[in-house]
Amino acid sequence: MPITKPTSPIKSTTQNFVEIEEIKDDIIVMKDFSAAIVIEVGAVNFWLLSEEEQASMIYAYAGLLNSLSFPTQILIVSKKMDISSYLDYLDANINKQHNELIRTRLLSYREFIKNVVKKNTVLEKRFFFVVPFSPLELGIVGANATSLQKEYIISRAKTSLYPKRDNLLRLLSKIGLQGTVMQKQELTELFYNLYNPSNTGRRLAPVESYTDVVLTNG
């Protein structure tokens, strides 16, 4: 009787490419058991400020960077905006409008928006601070982090990252910037859209409702 050899699950090339192991609460755990926390920062229309306000903002931001006692990464994500949903919204309001003057102005405004998008590339920009955690912060045991329990790594990462997170949020608020710590749902959607650029701004169902699918032969 022939012996059937057990087959191991097939991992897709995408799984091998993505370095993220897991997202737990607001902690991103990588495959090498390093970790990070992500803070999204609201934008400021710098060019609408006066020269004095611009100079004050620059000096305050430089002071923030110089006061940091831990490494951080500043990430800017630029994506071409998809305004189709906004145009649909305008169409719906135009169709419901009975006042002919307002209807004419809405039609004119809709054509103006379409022409602006045709002639110019309209970008959506998002700004992030990424604060990393290295297993080497654990000392000699961190040199072989993959031998440690994942929950232990996450617990130590939180102990290291949360004080840095709170400090950075305070510094941001001092210069008038609103920082928001990204949670599991927001992080999952962010990475999904980064790795799937054709799905512009797609919102996902609650991530807890998804189940893992293991691919096998046959």
**Taking the alpha carbons of 137, 142, 145, 148 in that order, is the dihedral positive or negative?**
negative
Residue 134 shares a structural domain with residue 59: yes
Mean pLDDT of all residues in 15-28: 83
Inside any domain, residue 4 = no
Helices (H), 97-183: 100-119, 150-174
Return the pLDDT at 218: 40
Residues 22, 67, single domain; the answer is: yes
In this prediction, residue 13 carries a pLDDT of: 57
Gap between the Cα atoms of 186 and 25, Å rounded: 10
Q: What is the predicted pLDDT for the residue at 165?
A: 94
2 domain residue, yes or no: no
Q: Residue count of the chain, please give it.
A: 218
Q: Is residue 1 part of a domain?
A: no
Task: Answer yes or no: do 156 and 189 share one domain.
Answer: yes
pLDDT for 133:
93
Q: How many domains does the chain have?
A: 2
Instruction: Please give the backbone phi and psi of residue 102, each rounded to the nearest 5 degrees, phi first.
Output: -65, -40
**Percent of the chain with pLDDT strictly greater than 70:** 81
For residues 145 and 169, the model is more confident at 169
143 is a domain residue: yes
CA angle, 77 then 29 then 41, to 5°: 30
Listed residue (151, 187, 195) closest to 37, CA to CA: 187
215 lies in some domain: no
- What's the pLDDT score for residue 213? 47
Q: Distance between CA 201 and CA 182 in Å, rounded?
A: 16
Residues 25 and 52 in one domain: yes
- Percent with pLDDT over 90 in the chain: 20
My answer on whether 55 and 160 are in the same domain is yes
Measured CA to CA, the distance from residue 204 to residue 207 in angstroms comes to 7
The pLDDT-based confidence of 214 (bands split at 50, 70, 90) is very low
Residue with tokens 């970008």: 123
DSSP state, 12? P
The verdict on 67 and 152 lying in the same domain is yes
**Residue 3 within any structural domain of the chain:** no
Task: Evaluate if residue 142 carries a pLDDT over 70.
Answer: no
pTM of the model: 0.72
**Average of pLDDT values for 159-177?**
92
Give the chain's mean pLDDT: 81
Distance CA 165, CA 81 (A): 30
